[in-house]
Each structure stands twice: as C-alpha cells, then as structure tokens.
C-alpha cells in the first residue's frame, strides 16, 4: 500500500511471515513482517517488523475501504489535545486515523508509527 501527498509518502508491504516454517500455532504462524518506507519533510526512514497478524492486515483493507466510502469519522484530538488512532493492532507499531475528509472523495490519512517504525530520531516515541 502506497499512500502519498505532495510532500510525504508511506509505503507498507507485507513481505513474508515472521517464521519460515509452520509451527502449528495459529497465533504465531500468522504474523506478517511489514516492510515500511516513509518519506516526510523531516526525513526518510525504513523499517521491517512482524507487526501485523493476517486478520489485522484484512482490517486495514476494510478500514481503507470504509474511508474511501466516507463512512469513517475524522479523528479529533481529545480534551488534552492528544490524537489517538482509529484503528490499532496488538503490536503498537503501526496504526491509522482519518485526519480530513475532503470533498470529491479525497481523504487525508494519519499514520501513527511508533517503536520499530518510528523515525530514527524519535525511536521509542510516537511518530
């Protein structure tokens, strides 16, 4: 999945399962390694991390379709001014929220990248 605007881009791709052989554990056997490449005005970086289960990858697809259909609400900051993602997963490495819905079907999606996916200059924090 490649999403971009005039100044930034995020490319997320499942590249393999975490484990090369099936271990017989339906949980452990379904971790996907996600390869990410991010470019922003602040800098560029990449990561590879087993951060999504196969079911969670399907949730991303369904969420993006709902955004395109206009059925996802824009995420507003809470009372303290903090933004939380609309959709998140067991591993808190990648998450998403809708920043703006623009007339004509264009959406601005906010990527929440943390831990292994955070910019190198902010490792351990929310990106």
| Single pTM value for the model | 0.84
Q: What is the pLDDT of residue 127?
A: 44
Both tokens of residue 98? 């809708």
Q: What is the pLDDT of residue 126?
A: 45
Q: What is the pLDDT of residue 106?
A: 85
* Whether the Cβ atoms of residue 98 and residue 109 lie closer than 8 Å to each other: yes
Where the chain has pLDDT below 50, the residues are 125-127
Give the three-state DSSP class for 120.
helix
Q: What is the pLDDT of residue 21?
A: 84
Domain ranges of the chain: 2-122
């Amino acid at each position: 999945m490649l999403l971009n605007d005039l100044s930034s881009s995020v490319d997320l791709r499942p590249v393999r399962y975490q484990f090369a052989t099936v271990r017989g554990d339906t949980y452990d056997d379904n971790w996907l390694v996600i390869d990410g490449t991010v470019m922003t005005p602040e800098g560029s970086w990449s990561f590879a991390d087993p951060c999504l289960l196969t079911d969670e990858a399907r949730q991303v697809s369904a969420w993006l379709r709902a955004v395109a259909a206009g059925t996802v609400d824009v995420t507003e900051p809470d009372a303290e001014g903090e933004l939380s993602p609309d959709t998140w997963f067991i591993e808190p490495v990648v998450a998403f929220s809708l920043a703006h819905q623009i007339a004509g079907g264009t959406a601005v999606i906010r990527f929440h990248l943390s831990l292994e996916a955070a910019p190198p200059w902010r490792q351990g924090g929310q990106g």
